[in-house]
Structure 1
């Protein structure tokens, strides 16, 4: 039996659902929340690897996958749990890999399928999951289907793409090297579902590129297909902005694009720091259920590095937000090193120890205090400070465990008075932050409540 529930009145929500099933032949029943994300994923810290550039300094590795495998010990030491690799399939030569020419073949410039599987196995040996970047909205124009169909209305593969009146293929953002698939074609759907089945046998989940551009009916079919084989398989959607309806029988975890943009606004001085809390609360206003999970991020392969746009002070505070606000933190490869180029080869030799140490402290904090992750409740804290635009205070609580978090996006040290009783020892730095008028914070500080 399935039970569905939605908000009533003026509120909007997606239909949340539970399944009630008999356990064996007895009188006992079990309850499963159908849209619940996999437990292993909500306990993770994600890490995006831009595959062409991350390990370019490895001159001894025979393939890119071998070079990436050689970095796994570093990632294990860093403390991340789940690796998202940018696309690894055969492509048109553009280094980002999102213009795919063969949905069933590993890119020649990276290695072979055996090399890819060896990388995944090596990650699993270290307790790390691997996400496959699934690109389904389009193919490259170099794809054999498009080559057959372009300017040929009678072509065998003509109905597999969207076409404009001009005779050009449908695309978004005037992208000239791709063509949108037509999902009314059963052959397209079958082809892409088969491709997803192929890579689901290897990876632990999919990061679904441009999820907003693919019909919801397709995602529902894909989810049912994958979850029937492995209920713990992860589906992460890229939607800008996020779409609450995608939580209803489609995706497990969502890009928190709203918080991402607000972190940029706060870091560049265009919004006060307290706006971050409204961004998080916007999830409920948008219709997500309370157990929906979100990926928190500052950077990815499409965006200017946060430190470049907002500076060191804001970057440290924003990193603190990733690891203390409700959600699943994600780092983009090199973020923890102070890397300034978005898609440049990582400058391992120029890593900034101050930045790396900061992320080490935050990763350890997040591991030691699960309340700061997905499960803890976000609660208001009354506070006073002479730096209201730069500083925000909030609480995290789960049962008897409670914490107060201070973030300071501005330069120097801020003093914050709070209406809570806490141990003044900062859990990030390990030093006392007690001051005459409250507590001090340079970028991020976390205190355990005692009242």
Structure 2
């Protein structure tokens, strides 16, 4: 089906990329504006991929005439003053990359208007004197005798003066569903779909609208199978991914300094033989850097064939054997997906350069005669032109080639690829397997990528805070960074990957020292999010892409990682969904600004059935629910810290008593049972 997917929420002045899905490069596609506000003069052109610019607030309908029929797409435009603040990545962006205000997916209205008539009448107001920004929204749905009731939970910006009651909610239905809008009722911040109006599917989208903008959209997917009605939340990350422990393997240097990469086994087999070790760290998700054929750059991101594995790594049989071995151990595997560009050594690029009349000339963006568009003046890649249907077809076919073998994609340079393409990848893969993971590399992160593009995001904000803290900034910055997720506009259900280093960054230990490295690892495993360990980080590797020095491993650091992973797995209070609270603490010996303490709290019953036997111990300690206090010390020397919220002096991480007369002795990380909330 060529329907362009879920409709869009945008602001006047934003750009909406329009592209047919599952494109046939040989087919004919035509766009028209079927409906628009009275004063609008917005139009679309004649190309299969078009860029639409709403010029008035209100509801637009653009129509696609395709080989399989006519498809309508609703675009809801808010006044330009409600556009989200600029979230441009720190990397340059291409003119063909859709702007961030257009990253939300939505549908058609559920009443005579668009669910919130007041939202279109808002003026472009000055900033709230008490602060403010994007609101947030989560949807839930309940099946009743009357119908399916979709409820909203609008939340104002944490720093603003608005309240939830000040926010409007704009509901929209999905153009792809067979649902009569007149059957749908909206009242009191709820939308009701009568049961007899649902033929097989009804997708409801919504945003919260405040004085300073509209939220990242959320959605519920209502499905009927005979007499059964089920509710799905398509923008939630897979449950397994939220608390996974991810291990990045830089494939070519992972085998190490012992000649493993050059022996007869091949790299895939060498990695497979270390899976017991990786599993023993507490890892349950393996991220392999690119494994496709490339131009011999060690990192593998310059692809020369999107359908073939790199010969120097091993055969397809060996790759599939590696993935199967990981699955046998209960580990999931992430494939590093590169879509923005090819290597200049790719045969298509070579053809485009050697023959200006080549069909592949249109596959690439060009900066000038013979000079391809790229980023950072990288000399070995060339950016694809996603307005050319054969490019989209080629990359979608590559997605289909590799997705069935793995459990998710780590999406390279996600910010540089048009959002409509990622939406199609998301919907295509989730239709088969809702648990397939899409992890985006976008720096800084972009809240709208949560709405039907990606499940989990690189938490580059917390990464940057950890680096600053490691270099002397007050340690409270790590808590500020986590709280910045909500300030940026991410909804509560957004997923994040926490990291302190990866193959692009200097090793944390090298830049910040061993004590801070231990504390940073503690932060990864105790803050909300999925922790990621870059291979070698667990034993003190110093080179970011060098062959791993397995024979020179720091065993105490490795044991530190094992204990952190085990404790996170055992304690519900360290799960991503558990609350994060600031607590009062006093550093009585050591550097005040090198220490931070916080509480993690899971609102769950205690008892053997609920927590594996911890309940009796917690009850004796006077603990309500499963709660811990974490103290991180980034300083070079131990600190003595008084934390009233802690209920005991036994470090749950090591089993050692850390109590002193004037507080707790903390070398780098201490996790204590917590007192009453």
| TM-score for the superposition, normalised by structure 2 | 0.65
Q: Could you report, residue by residue, the CA deviation over 1:386-419 in whole angstroms, capped at 9, with x for unpaired residues?
A: 5221000111111121111100000221122223
CA separation of 1:308/1:32 partners in 2, compared to 1, >3 Å: closer, same or farther? same
Confirm whether residue 448 of structure 1 aligns to residue 654 of structure 2. Answer: no
Q: 1:66 aligns with which of 269, 293, 297?
A: 269
> How far apart are the structure 2 equivalents of 1:291 and 1:226?
20
* 8 Å Cα contact 1:13/1:286 also seen in 2: no
In 2, the alpha carbon distance for the partners of 1:24 and 1:367 equals 39
Aligned to 1:118: 321
Aligned to 2:50: none
Residue pair 2:410, 2:440 contacting (<8 A) in 1 also: yes
Q: Deviations over 1:156-183 (max 9, x none)?
A: 1000000013430000000000000000
Name 1:86's counterpart in structure 2.
289
SS of 2:367's partner is coil
Q: Which residue of 2 aligns with 1:408?
A: 633
* Aligned equivalent of 1:396: 600
Correspondences of 1:92-131 after superposition (within 5 Å) = 92-131=295-334
Corresponding position of 2:238 = 38
Shift of residue 12, structure 1, vs aligned partner: 5.0
How many Å separate the matches in 2 of 1:51 and 1:421?
42
1:150 aligned counterpart, secondary structure:
helix
Taking a change above 3 Å as real, the CA distance of residues 282 and 11 of structure 1, as seen in their structure-2 partners, is: farther
Deviation at 1:24, TM superposition (A): 4.2
Partners in 1 of 2:421 and 2:387 — Cα distance? 10
SS of the residue 1:104 aligns to: strand
Question: How far apart in 2 are the matches of 1:11 and 1:425?
Answer: 47
The SS at the match of 1:164 is: strand
Inter-CA distance 402–131: structure 2 relative to 1 (3 Å threshold): same
Identify which range, 426-435 or 46-55, moves more after superposition: 426-435
**Equivalences for residues 169-184 of structure 1 within 5 A:** 169-184=372-387
Counterpart secondary structure, 2:547:
coil
SS in 2 for 1:201: helix
Partner of 1:325: 527
Aligned residue for 1:274?
476
Deviations 1:392-451 (A, max 9, x none): 011111112111110000022112222324122111111122222222211011111133
Provide the rounded CA distance (Å) in 2 between the counterparts of 1:189 and 1:5: 29
SS at match of 2:548: coil
Residue 53 (1) aligns with residue 256 (2): no
Give yes or no for the alignment of 1:13 onto 2:238.
no
- The 10-residue stretch of structure 1 (29-38 or 222-231) with the greater mean CA deviation from structure 2: 29-38
Greater mean alpha carbon deviation, residues 365-374 or residues 135-144: 365-374
Kindly indicate whether the alpha-carbon contact (under 8 Å) linking 2:572 and 2:602 is maintained by their aligned counterparts in 1.
no
Distance apart, 1:2 and its partner CA? 3.0
Looking at structure 1, the residues matched to 293 and 513 of structure 2 have their Cα atoms a distance apart, in angstroms, of: 37
2:556 to 332, 350, 354: 354
Q: Is the 8 A contact 1:12 1:285 kept in 2?
A: no
Map 1:229-240 onto structure 2 (within 5 A). 229-240=432-443
Once residues 208 and 375 of structure 1 are traced to their aligned partners in structure 2, the CA distance between those partners, rounded to angstroms, is 24
Moved more, 171-180 or 395-404: 395-404
Residue 4 of structure 1, CA deviation: 2.9
Deviations 1:7-57 (A, max 9, x none): 33236531112223346415xx43222111111212310000011010143
CA RMSD of aligned residues (A): 1.4
Equivalents in 2 of 1:203, 1:382: separation in Å?
45
Corresponding residue for residue 12 of structure 2: none
Query: Aligned to 1:76, which of 279, 283, 289?
Result: 279
Deviates most, 116-125 or 33-42: 33-42
Q: Deviations over 1:118-142 (max 9, x none)?
A: 1101111111111000000000001
Cross-structure match for 1:429? 654
Q: 1:302 aligns with which of 475, 500, 504?
A: 504
The match for 1:209 is: 412
Structure 1 runs not aligned, ≥5 long: none
- How much has 1:6 moved relative to structure 2? 2.8
Shift, 1:152, TM fit = 3.6
Is the contact made by 1:12 and 1:286 (CA closer than 8 Å) also made in structure 2? no
Q: Which residue of 2 aligns with 1:254?
A: 457
TM superposition shift of 1:63: 1.3
Corresponding position: 1:363 with 2:565: yes
CA positional deviation for 1:360: 1.4
Q: Distance in 2 between matches of 1:146 and 1:427?
A: 56
1:147 corresponds, among 326, 350, 356, to: 350
TM-score (norm 1): 0.96
- The higher relative CO (CA closer than 8 Å, separation ≥ 6) is in 1
1:265-324: CA deviation from partner (whole Å, max 9, x where unpaired): 00011x210011110011111111101110000111111000000000100000000000
CA distance in 2, matches of 1:183, 1:355: 45
Match of 1:25 among 208, 214, 227: 227
- Distance in 1, matches of 2:230 and 2:664, equals 47
* Whole-angstrom distance in 1 between the partners of 2:550 and 2:491: 41
Q: Across the two proteins, how many residue pairs are aligned to each other?
A: 448
Name the SS for the 2:474 alignment partner. Answer: coil
Instruction: Output the CA distance in 1 between the equivalents of 2:572 and 2:337.
Output: 30
Offset of 1:380 from its aligned partner?
A: 1.3
Q: How does 1:210-225 map to 2 (within 5 A)?
A: 210-225=413-428
Task: Find the counterpart in structure 2 of residue 195 from structure 1.
Answer: 398
The structure-2 alpha-carbon separation of the partners of 1:421 and 1:310, relative to structure 1 and needing over 3 Å to count, comes to closer
- Deviation sequence 1:210-245 (CA, Å, 0-9, x none): 000000000001111111111111100000000111
Moved more, 196-205 or 415-424: 415-424
Query: Which stretch of the first structure deviates more once superposed, 36-45 or 182-191?
Result: 36-45
**1:3 maps to which residue?**
204
What does residue 167 of structure 2 align with? none
